Amino acid sequence: MAALEEEFTLSSVVLGAGPDGLLGVEHSDKTDQFLVTDSGRTVILYKLSDQKTLGSWSVKQGQIITCPAVCNFQTGEYIVVHDNKVLRIWNSEDVNLDKVFKATLSAEVYRIHSIQGTEPLVLFKEGAVRGLEALLAEPQQKIETVISNEEVIKWTKLFIVFRHPVLIFITEKHGNYFAYVQTFHSRVLSKYTLLLGQEEEVVIQSFTASVDRKFISLMSLSSDGCIYETLIPIRPTDPEKNQRVVRSLLLKAVVSGNARNGVALTVLDQDHVAVLGSPLPASKECVSIWNIKFQTLQISKELPQGTSGQLWYYGENLFMLHGKFLTVIPYKCEVSSLAGALGKLKHSQDPGIHVTPHFVNWETSQGCGLGCQNSEQSRRILRRRKVEVNLQAEVPPSKQLLLTIKKDSEKHIEVELRKFLAMKQTPDFHAIIGDIVTGLLERCKAEPSFYPRNCLIQLIQTHVLSYSLCPGLMEVALQKTDVQLLQLCLQQFPDIPESVTCMCLKLFLSIGDDCLQETDVNMESVSDYSGTAQDEKMEEQTKILQNGFNPKEDNCSNCDQELNEKPQDTTKETVSCPVIPKRAALLENATMTLPGICPPTLNQIMDWICLLLDANFTVVVMIPEAKRLLINLYKFVKSQISVYSELNKIEVSFRELQKLNQEKNNRGLYSIEVLELF
């Protein structure tokens, strides 16, 4: 069930919103504070709990705000754009926007995105994106054009996926719609053409979206009154290609089909959406909450003074213009279940709030009322869901899977696990995944031949596991020499003990190159690897300076002497990685999750460690007790240099012998050769 509570207006202040309504409502850095930007000259900061104004700022007469104000969560400052190109930054103590920081940009801004966990991102009208800091460092930098001529951005949203920002924006050109997905971690921009399906001459009036591990669920409310869904992959198979995605019908007839204005859509959670619009041609505008899982209308509230067709939500509050007043309606959405969707749940309710459940007319096969659906299809859906609910009541899916793990084959377990992961996640999902991993590992120990590698990889990729939740996982992977599984664990587990990390390092260094070549390793960390192949012929390196030996000299009495006098030889030196790329990926791919807003980088940490080592070494050198140790170290290093020098002499000699042997091809069955070495 869902409920809409009693509405209230923010300080009962009439906003000068103009014909276009508001530019936006954005969350501030405080829990219950919001920035409201009208389509004229003013930005107002409201405190929701007290329903009062905390601050108000306006641009000069003749200027107009063209982009909603946002809060920089990293600094607590506010950012707004007026006249398309002029960016202003201020804080709550500032009074006059004309006297705050100003930067004039070289291109027109469409929107500034700012959410917790990343710096503000600026989206320009031609599709390019810049981080705020990079933009402020050079405001007049050239901004490239991403979208084609006559394409216009209609909607945009920013998400955080696996701690990295992902931006989606929708464009329109001659009635065709396109989706652009920008992933900032991999710096990939993907373009998708939205295929509208069988509908004729429909206009998309509102967009909203949610995100999971792999897909962006893009929902659209069209002029036919229906809600459609399009699944867009976050990581495309071919980023360079313009791919096509088809939308499917999600909800039918949620608003009147001939309503051209005053409609909006926003997703509240994985099972509920809020819709703003007239449900019937002659009815007043309403705000309603629908359950998209069971296709039922949960609650609806009339807005007799009309709206601007704009809807926002933060926390458990819906924001909209009701008449000329910014209105807030608190809402509640319970965990989705069939009983709740049909209004059968018993729950407590505030006696002062009247909530009436609404249902789709499942028996109506034709017509244009609310929730008109094909009756046979609807009954089949209900029957199928009823069977699913009954089965779940008998044995939970997680219990069924654990029973399957104990006795069935690896292939069958993999199929059942894939089905389980495709289900909706529950609040205890991470604990269930931990139990599944534990069950698999227990069978691995009981049956040495049982190793469900694909299942373990799928479970790691759910991103809910940690070392402490399944400590035996990496132990089994080390026993099986499974470097791909170990690499995944090292990338995603934040709490791996140092001893286990050392064991992984020893394995990565000791495993043979032939085995690594046949192993699937994530090469993202060495994507720019430019070293030469490791199977170069040794003859190509004869002119390279050897360790402590120059073949043109017959003695090495002075180890400190320069060993190669010809500068032109150094130009022939080949710079190559000492290990093959796959081993480099296992060794170089260091990931860190450190607390704080600006955690140190890996290079900064290494610099600090080197500084500490240098400082301690300096102390050791200066104390009298270390003199004997230093002398011994000096003698040892000198002897090693001498040994390596002699070995290099032998190495070059044998290489020359090999050349001589290769040059003599006309040998008989038996021959004696005498070679003199100088």
User: How far apart are the C-alpha atoms of 309 and 259, rounded to whole Å?
Assistant: 11
Question: Does residue 346 or residue 137 have the better pLDDT?
Answer: 137
pLDDT band at 594 (very low <50, low <70, confident <90, very high): low
Q: Is the pLDDT of residue 102 over 90?
A: yes
Strands 215-222 and 227-233, by their bridges, are: antiparallel
- Contact (CB, 8 A) for 421 and 462: yes
Residue 399 neighbours by CB distance under 10 Å: 12
Tell me the torsion sign for CA atoms 53, 59, 61, 66: negative
Q: Is the pLDDT of residue 213 over 80?
A: no
User: How far apart are the C-alpha atoms of 182 and 330, rounded to whole Å?
Assistant: 33
pLDDT tens digits for 368-404?
333 334 444 444 444 444 444 444 445 688 888 888 8
What is the average pLDDT score of the chain? 78
pLDDT at 64: 93
**Pick from 72-81, 157-166, 213-222, 344-353: least confident:** 344-353
pLDDT tens digits for 311-366?
999 888 999 988 888 899 999 888 766 655 555 555 444 433 334 344 343 333 33
pLDDT at 556: 41
User: How far apart are the C-alpha atoms of 241 and 11, rounded to whole Å?
Assistant: 51
pLDDT at 574: 46
pLDDT band at 410 (very low <50, low <70, confident <90, very high): confident
Q: Is the pLDDT of residue 624 over 60?
A: yes
Q: Which residues sit opposite 53 in a β-bridge?
A: 46
The residues, ordered by sequence, that sit 6+ positions from 562 with a Cβ below 8 Å of its Cβ are: none
- Contact (CB, 8 A) for 426 and 462: no
User: How far apart are the C-alpha atoms of 197 and 455, rounded to whole Å?
Assistant: 36
- Reading the block at residue 592, the tokens are 């860190």
pLDDT tens digits for 429-481?
888 888 899 999 999 988 888 999 889 988 998 888 888 888 899 999 999 99
- Taking CA atoms, 456 is separated from 403, 417, 422, 444, in Å, by 17, 10, 16, 11
As to burial, measured by CB atoms within 10 angstroms (0-12 exposed, 13-18 middle, 19+ buried), residue 230 is: buried
pLDDT band at 51 (very low <50, low <70, confident <90, very high): confident
pTM of the model: 0.53
CA 287 to chain centre: 32
Closest by Cα among 189, 32, 29, 31 to 117: 29
Residue with tokens 């495709």: 422
pLDDT at 259: 61
Helical spans, DSSP H, in 254-313: none
User: How far apart are the C-alpha atoms of 21 and 342, rounded to whole Å?
Assistant: 36
Query: By percentage, how much of the chain surpasses pLDDT 70?
Result: 76
As to burial, measured by CB atoms within 10 angstroms (0-12 exposed, 13-18 middle, 19+ buried), residue 53 is: middle
- Contact (CB, 8 A) for 409 and 416: no
User: How far apart are the C-alpha atoms of 557 and 497, rounded to whole Å?
Assistant: 48
User: How far apart are the C-alpha atoms of 581 and 92, rounded to whole Å?
Assistant: 52
pLDDT tens digits for 391-400?
444 568 888 8
Strands 307-314 and 215-222, by their bridges, are: unpaired
